[in-house]
């Protein structure tokens, strides 16, 4: 698992690493909150805010990244279409 994370870092996949960290924090803190809730219910419930924040941050990063990628892809395809139209106009 560590080797896979190192490969992701070397391949400049920081978004994937960030998402893995957010969701790992969420799962670990959710489990910790469950264990703590067995002994002290109010403390366990208050710890549940950590996975909630991690999940919200992770989902917001995925949504933001998807929107950015969508906009960049649209701009790149528009530029390609414009360049190909200019090339065909020059040939004619």
Are the C-beta atoms of 35 and 9 separated by less than 8 Å?
no
Give me the torsion for CA of 8, 10, 15, 18, rounded to 10°: 70
pLDDT at 5: 67
**Average pLDDT estimate for 44-70:** 88
Measured from the Cβ of residue 59, the count of other Cβ atoms closer than 10 Å reads: 13
pLDDT at 82 > cutoff 70 = yes
This prediction has a pTM of 0.67
At 36, is the pLDDT very low, low, confident or very high (cuts 50, 70, 90)?
very high
């Amino acid at each position: 698992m560590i080797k896979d994370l190192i490969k992701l870092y070397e391949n400049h996949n920081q978004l994937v690493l960030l998402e893995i960290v957010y969701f790992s924090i969420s799962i670990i803190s959710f489990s910790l909150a469950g264990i703590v809730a067995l002994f002290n219910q109010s403390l366990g419930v208050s710890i549940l805010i950590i996975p909630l924040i991690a999940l919200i941050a992770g989902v917001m990063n995925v949504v933001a990244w998807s929107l950015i990628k969508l906009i960049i892809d649209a701009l790149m395809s528009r530029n390609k279409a414009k360049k190909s139209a200019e090339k065909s106009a020059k040939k004619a």
